[in-house]
């Protein structure tokens, strides 16, 4: 029994070590692989993996080739949630700052910049049109605008920014529409055909991003940064940077979406749900990567007529209720891994509790109590088994003295004692087994849920997703683990006993770097377990 307990603790130690390595890897400074920051980066002027829609194997638009990421006049846009910069060169959305999300607790007045076109970190939303019968504006074309500053006024629900382009017998108005209390941006193209022939117009949208690599150890489980597509056939599919480099994506589908993830945040293009499109990716020079989609069915604009092509862009946090409002499947970007079946309900309960108490720390405490209540019958049976084992300690010690170093006879005698006293030697292992999946699931909830980013609890704990700055919770956790060890039956072997008492020290060292919300859960769990075990021990040991 002692060996099995140590084996279970060893498994838990390895799992916690893996999570610790993941946490440390996630918060390590990012290394950028940059060839030369003084050389302008090259990007495609239009989708390059599938340059343009084709008919009979022939491209219906010339291949522009790679071009430099140029810049021109900036259009500044402010809403209640976003500060945005649109460049008239290409009409790209070059900068997006999230006003409700500070960079850190030390820089509360500095909003997090999700989209950015400054080296070495590039993250830009691009879109454009491709034409069969002449040029149309791509993300290289130059637009004009009537104003260079827009502000969402008080009482105004939506704000539209219009960009103008004309040439080759066509006039195009590209418009961005921003909404109050939303990270959604509607992007529309109004195409006017001033020529004498009908024009077939195709639309594309893509995200350009520089490669970011977080290097960790063998056991690292860092959060995912890279591309994602969603289709009805394969649903949530990660397209990482190596995949884009080694095997560019080409996938025909109906509807869906394409996104670039960055831990708690996302930039995503969402075409119409019934649109026939092709997803693509491409690797560019300067360690840049693009992933996006283009329409496969053209919109025809008759001479003297006009047509509108539309798409949607989401630039913001992975707040689940906002993602669900945009598209139900966008919630998949909050990726809890292989324990989603446990983690998703945990977050649902945690969010429900937060609505009641208004504090994520107290919500975690209440969640821990609820988990203990759910597993109460199992815990009671387990703690009773441990209490009976503890009561048998003098007799077990007598057996050890009787059989000395003859381990075979000692084990046989102990098994006979368990059988006589109707004790399950594995019963005390159940609390450990139950805690492992819940513990790991809660880890992923804390790591993936932006709702808990920079969420305070009380006193010195200002961010439950970050380690305890004064190590109070990890030390308390170590103390409660020692209390548990003292209440449990002691191993007969002195070496095993030393090992069991060394584990709380090891765990405390690892938990120093864990998110404080996770340590809070473990401390409350231990306190409840100690109280329950003490009460059961007292009841059983009081009996003859």
Three-class SS state of 363: helix
Angstrom CA distances, 88 to 85, 125, 308, stand at 10, 13, 20
Q: Is residue 250 part of a domain?
A: yes
Residue ending a domain, choose from 303, 333, 363:
333
Q: Are residues 261 and 365 in the same domain?
A: no
What was the pLDDT predicted at 401? 66
Q: Are residues 13 and 69 in the same domain?
A: no
DSSP track, 10-76: HHHHHHHHHHHHHHHHHTSPPEE--S-TTSPPEEESS-STT-S-EETTEESS----EEE-----EEE
Spatial distance between the Cα atoms of 435 and 441, rounded to a whole number of angstroms? 10
Write the CATH number for 120: 2.70.98.90
What was the pLDDT predicted at 82? 97
Q: Is residue 27 part of a domain?
A: no
Task: With a cut of 70, list the residues of the chain below it in pLDDT.
Answer: 1-68, 212-222, 380-394, 396-397, 399-401, 403-407, 409, 414, 417-419, 421-432, 434-435, 488-497, 537, 540-544
Element housing 135 (H / E): none
Q: Are residues 316 and 358 in the same domain?
A: no
Identify whether the C-beta of residue 32 lies closer than 8 Å to the C-beta of residue 212.
Answer: yes
User: Of 123, 152, 162, nearest to 268 (Cα)?
Assistant: 123
Query: For tokens 């020290």, what's the residue?
Result: 505
User: Of 54, 44, 9, nearest to 283 (Cα)?
Assistant: 44
Q: Are residues 298 and 360 in the same domain?
A: no
How many residues in total does the chain contain?
544
Query: For tokens 């259009």, what's the residue?
Result: 75
Token readout for 440 is 């790991």
First and final C-alpha spacing in the chain: 24
Q: Are residues 296 and 401 in the same domain?
A: no
Q: Are residues 284 and 401 in the same domain?
A: no
SS3 content of the chain, % helix, strand, coil (to 5): 40, 30, 30
What was the pLDDT predicted at 510? 82
Q: Is residue 216 part of a domain?
A: yes
Q: Are residues 259 and 370 in the same domain?
A: no
pLDDT in tens, 228-286: 999 988 889 999 999 999 999 999 999 999 999 998 999 999 998 889 999 999 998 87
Number of domains forming the structure of the chain = 2
Q: Are residues 461 and 408 in the same domain?
A: yes
Q: Are residues 38 and 62 in the same domain?
A: yes
Residue ending a domain, choose from 282, 302, 333:
333
Spatial distance between the Cα atoms of 379 and 385, rounded to a whole number of angstroms? 10
Q: Are residues 248 and 363 in the same domain?
A: no
Token readout for 231 is 């289709």
Alpha-helical (H) ranges within 133-275 are: 241-246
DSSP track, 68-132: E-----EEEEE-SSEEEEEETBTT-EEEEEEEEEEEETTEEEEEEEEEB-STT--EEEEEEEEES
Angstrom CA distances, 208 to 282, 364, 386, 455, 472, stand at 9, 38, 58, 31, 43
What was the pLDDT predicted at 529? 84
pTM, to two decimals: 0.79
Angstrom CA distances, 199 to 142, 183, 188, 517, stand at 21, 33, 18, 58
Q: Is residue 28 part of a domain?
A: no
Three-class SS state of 336: coil
Q: Is residue 482 part of a domain?
A: yes
What was the pLDDT predicted at 29? 35
Query: For tokens 């203990």, what's the residue?
Result: 372
Spatial distance between the Cα atoms of 403 and 400, rounded to a whole number of angstroms? 5
Q: Are residues 317 and 381 in the same domain?
A: no
Q: Are residues 102 and 210 in the same domain?
A: yes
Instruction: Domain of residue 453: give its range.
Output: 2-22+342-541
List Cβ neighbours of 298 (8 Å cut-off, separation of 6 or more).
53, 132, 200, 201, 202
What was the pLDDT predicted at 405? 67
Bridge partner list, 81: none
Q: Is residue 522 part of a domain?
A: yes
DSSP track, 220-248: --PPPEEEEEEETTTEEEEE-HHHHHHS-
DSSP class of residue 338 equals G
What was the pLDDT predicted at 57? 38
Q: Is residue 268 part of a domain?
A: yes
Residue ending a domain, choose from 309, 333, 357:
333
Token readout for 367 is 């969640």
């Amino acid at each position: 029994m002692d060996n099995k307990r140590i084996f279970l603790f060893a498994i838990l130690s390895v799992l916690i070590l893996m999570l610790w390595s993941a946490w440390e890897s996630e918060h390590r400074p990012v290394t950028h692989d940059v060839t030369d920051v003084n050389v302008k980066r090259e990007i495609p002027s239009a989708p390059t993996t599938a340059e343009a829609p084709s008919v009979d194997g022939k491209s219906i638009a010339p291949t522009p080739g790679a071009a430099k990421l140029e810049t021109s006049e900036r259009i500044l846009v402010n809403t209640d949630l976003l500060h945005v910069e649109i460049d008239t060169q290409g009409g790209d959305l070059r900068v997006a700052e999230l006003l409700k999300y500070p960079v850190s607790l030390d820089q509360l007045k500095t909003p997090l910049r999700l989209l950015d076109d400054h080296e070495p970190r590039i993250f830009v939303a691009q879109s454009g049109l491709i034409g069969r019968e002449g040029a149309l504006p791509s993300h290289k074309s130059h637009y004009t605008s009537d104003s260079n500053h827009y502000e969402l006024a008080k009482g105004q629900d939506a704000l539209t920014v219009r960009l103008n382009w004309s040439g080759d017998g066509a006039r195009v108005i590209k418009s961005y529409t921003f909404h109050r209390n939303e990270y959604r941006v509607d992007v529309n193209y109004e195409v006017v055909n001033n020529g004498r022939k009908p024009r077939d117009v195709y639309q594309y949208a893509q995200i350009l991003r520089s490669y970011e690599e977080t290097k960790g150890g063998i056991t690292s489980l860092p959060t995912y940064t890279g591309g994602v597509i969603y289709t009805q056939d394969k649903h949530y599919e990660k397209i990482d940077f190596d995949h884009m480099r080694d095997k560019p994506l080409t996938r025909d589908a109906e509807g869906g979406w394409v996104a670039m993830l960055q831990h708690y945040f996302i930039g995503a293009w969402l075409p119409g749900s019934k649109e026939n499109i092709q997803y693509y990716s491409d690797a560019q020079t300067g360690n840049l990567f693009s992933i996006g989609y283009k329409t496969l069915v053209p919109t025809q604009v008759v001479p003297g007529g006009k047509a509108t092509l539309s798409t949607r862009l989401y630039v913001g946090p992975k707040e689940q209720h906002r993602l669900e409002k945009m598209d139900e499947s966008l919630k998949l970007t909050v990726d809890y891994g292989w324990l989603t079946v446990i983690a998703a309900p945990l977050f649902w309960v945690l969010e429900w509790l937060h609505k009641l108490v208004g504090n994520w720390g107290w919500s975690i405490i209440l969640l821990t109590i609820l988990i203990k209540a759910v597993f109460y019958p199992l815990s009671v049976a387990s703690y009773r088994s441990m209490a009976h084992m503890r009561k048998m300690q003098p007799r077990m010690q007598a057996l050890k003295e009787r059989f000395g170093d003859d381990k075979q006879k000692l084990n046989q005698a102990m098994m006979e004692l368990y059988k006589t006293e109707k004790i399950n030697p594995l019963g005390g292992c159940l609390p450990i087994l139950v805690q492992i999946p819940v513990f790991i699931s809660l880890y992923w909830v804390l790591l993936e849920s932006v709702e808990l980013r920079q969420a305070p609890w009380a006193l010195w704990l200002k961010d439950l997703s970050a380690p305890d700055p004064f190590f109070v919770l990890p030390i308390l956790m170590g103390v409660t683990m020692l209390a548990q060890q003292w209440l449990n039956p002691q191993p007969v072997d002195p070496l095993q006993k030393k090992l069991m008492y060394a584990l709380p020290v090891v765990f405390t060292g690892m938990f120093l770097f864990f998110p404080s919300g996770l340590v809070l859960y473990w401390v409350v769990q231990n306190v409840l377990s100690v109280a329950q075990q003490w009460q059961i021990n007292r009841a059983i040991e009081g009996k003859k």
